[in-house]
């Protein structure tokens, strides 16, 4: 009996000291866009577009693609609400600018079917928020020119660049 208990104790100790296997549950530690970061990005994007005289809508989404912050300029068009959010979602989902994604999914390409996904849009103005290669969110801007939307979104991300290192 004592021998059996000794063997059971050794087995338990070996399991406790063994490295975790693929089947062991683990806590994931992930970076995400905070409320303060999202607000800073959105305000910087609006300010950049204001310099050019453009009243825009800005959406910032988190790593799951959920809306974190939304700002709408005083004279922004109502449809810009949806466009800004869809641009941000597209950039977050694919981890690249919405313009880059649009060119990769041109009609006739093997990725063209991705354009049928819900909430994505093939328009310039969505920019991912990255820490290294990890996409932690995105910003979408609508209401300027297409290149202006993207420039304002990039200015928003640049405003928190020191926090993304």
Alpha-carbon distance 95 to 128, whole Å?
Answer: 6
pLDDT of 21 over the 70 cut: no
Torsion of CA 19, 133, 141, 66, to 10 degrees: -10
Query: What is the crossing angle of helices 146-158 and 35-51, to 10°?
Result: 140
Tens-place pLDDT, residues 96-153:
999 999 999 999 999 999 999 999 999 999 999 999 999 999 999 999 998 999 999 9
Q: Of 107, 110, 114, 70, which is closest to residue 88 (Cα–Cα)?
A: 70
Strands 126-131 and 67-72: unpaired
106 in a structural domain: yes
Q: Please name which of 125, 121, 156, 128 lies closest in space to residue 143, comparing C-alpha atoms.
A: 125
What is the spatial distance between Cα 145 and Cα 164, in angstroms, rounded to a whole number?
27
Q: Is residue 18 part of a domain?
A: no
Instruction: Look at residue 5 and tell me whether its pLDDT is greater than 70.
Output: no
Cα 52 from chain centroid (whole Å) = 26
Domain boundaries, position 75: 27-164
Residue 6: inside a domain: no
Region 6-16: what's the mean pLDDT? 57
- What was the pLDDT predicted at 23? 79
CATH number of the domain encompassing residue 60: 3.30.450.150
Domain count, the chain: 1
pLDDT category of residue 85 using cuts at 50, 70 and 90: very high
In a domain, 4, yes or no: no
pTM: 0.85
The pLDDT value recorded for residue 81 is: 96
Domain annotation covers residue 128:
yes
pLDDT of residue 130: 98
- Within a domain: residue 2? no
Q: Looking at the predicted structure, is the pLDDT value of residue 16 above 60?
A: no
Domain membership flag for residue 1:
no
Q: Any idea how long the chain is?
A: 165
């Amino acid at each position: 009996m004592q021998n059996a208990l000794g063997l059971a104790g050794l087995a338990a100790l070996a399991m406790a000291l063994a490295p975790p296997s693929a089947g062991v549950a683990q806590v994931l530690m992930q970076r995400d866009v905070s409320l303060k970061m999202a607000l800073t990005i959105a305000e910087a994007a609006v300010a950049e577009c204001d310099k050019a005289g453009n009243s825009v809508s800005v959406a910032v989404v988190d790593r799951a693609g959920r809306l974190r912050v939304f700002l709408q300029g005083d004279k922004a068009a109502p449809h810009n609400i949806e466009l800004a959010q869809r641009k941000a979602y597209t950039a977050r989902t694919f981890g690249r600018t919405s313009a880059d994604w649009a060119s990769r999914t041109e009609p006739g390409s093997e990725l063209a079917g991705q354009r049928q996904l819900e909430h994505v849009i093939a328009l310039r103005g969505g920019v991912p928020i990255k820490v290294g290669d990890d996409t932690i969110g995105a910003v979408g801007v609508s209401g300027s020119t297409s290149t202006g939307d993207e420039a304002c979104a990039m200015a928003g991300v640049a405003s928190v660049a020191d926090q993304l290192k």
